[in-house]
Amino acid sequence: MTPGRRAAILARMDITVRRAEPGDFEGLWRVFSDESAYSGTLQLPLPSRELWRTRLADPAEGHYRFVACAGDEIVGSAGLHPAANSPRRAHAMSVGVAVAGSWQGKGAGKALLSALTGFADGWLHVFRLELTVFTDNERAIALYRKFGFEAEGTHRAYALRDGRYADVLAMARLRPKPR
Ligand SMILES: CC(C)(COP(=O)(O)OP(=O)(O)OC[C@H]1O[C@@H](n2cnc3c(N)ncnc32)[C@H](O)[C@@H]1OP(=O)(O)O)[C@@H](O)C(=O)NCCC(=O)NCCS
């Protein structure tokens, strides 16, 4: 089957979300090798396969990773990580999301955020989800607002992005209707 035909078939498939498995490292490596995916995040370009193999083989306690799949292809990923080591911040977790360039704008980000917020709200003692997002990343900011994240302020010159210091928006979401 030609790559074009395969892409056309995959584009018609539903996107599903599941927890990442050690064997997913190749798919995650592919997502994060894509400039339009890593440049919106704090990941470095040209990741090695070995980096992703070891990350997935031995995940640290309390870190959760989800993958979005179209058929057997991994098209995106979301991570939920402790925001800090302090026990006084045990109620806070940080969020990161990335979707492969050819899949952006097709619902994978929404599917990942829906799974991640449902997991955090229903199954973890998390009251606050937080993240940073580059101030010019309109798509990501729109996605986060859709899931209840609110802007809390701007960190100036927060991260180097392709040779320039870029500002980020700090956003957070407090768990709706905690019981
Ligand atoms: C940001 C990102 C995660 C969003 O995921 P996605 O799969 O592309 O987004 P979705 O298709 O699920 O769309 C989610 C929402 O984003 C908004 N959106 C989609 N395309 C958009 C665009 N071109 N411009 C502005 N907003 C847009 C819409 O509000 C959309 O919801 P709707 O379809 O109900 O209207 C993804 O584009 C990505 O990985 N980008 C590169 C890495 C990155 O920036 N990660 C975020 C780090 S903080």
Phi, psi torsion values for 92, nearest 5 degrees: -115, 135
The span from the CA of 128 to the CA of 94, in Å, is 8
Whether the predicted pLDDT of 7 surpasses 90: no
Mean pLDDT of 114-139: 97
The span from the CA of 142 to the CA of 150, in Å, is 10
Compute, in angstroms, the gap from residue 146 CA to the centroid of ligand 1: 10
Q: Which CATH superfamily is domain 3-174 in?
A: Gcn5-related N-acetyltransferase (GNAT) (3.40.630.30)
User: For 143-155, what is each residue's pLDDT tens digit?
Assistant: 999 999 999 999 9
Mean pLDDT of 93-114: 97
- Cβ of 133 below 6 Å from ligand 1: yes
Residue 137 three-state SS: coil
> What was the pLDDT predicted at 13?
72
Whether the predicted pLDDT of 66 surpasses 90: yes
Mean of pLDDT over the chain: 94
End-to-end CA distance of the chain: 52
Mean pLDDT of 63-78: 97
Minimal-distance CA residue to ligand 1 atom 18:
139
User: For 16-32, what is each residue's pLDDT tens digit?
Assistant: 999 999 999 999 999 99
Compute, in angstroms, the gap from residue 131 CA to the centroid of ligand 1: 15
> What was the pLDDT predicted at 131?
98
Question: Domain limits of the chain?
Answer: 3-174
The span from the CA of 151 to the CA of 62, in Å, is 26
DSSP assignment, residue 61? T
- Cβ of 143 below 6 Å from ligand 1: yes
> What was the pLDDT predicted at 159?
98
Whether the predicted pLDDT of 4 surpasses 80: no
Distances (CA, A) of 177 to 70, 82, 105, 121, 173: 33, 21, 30, 9, 12
- Cβ of 161 below 6 Å from ligand 1: no
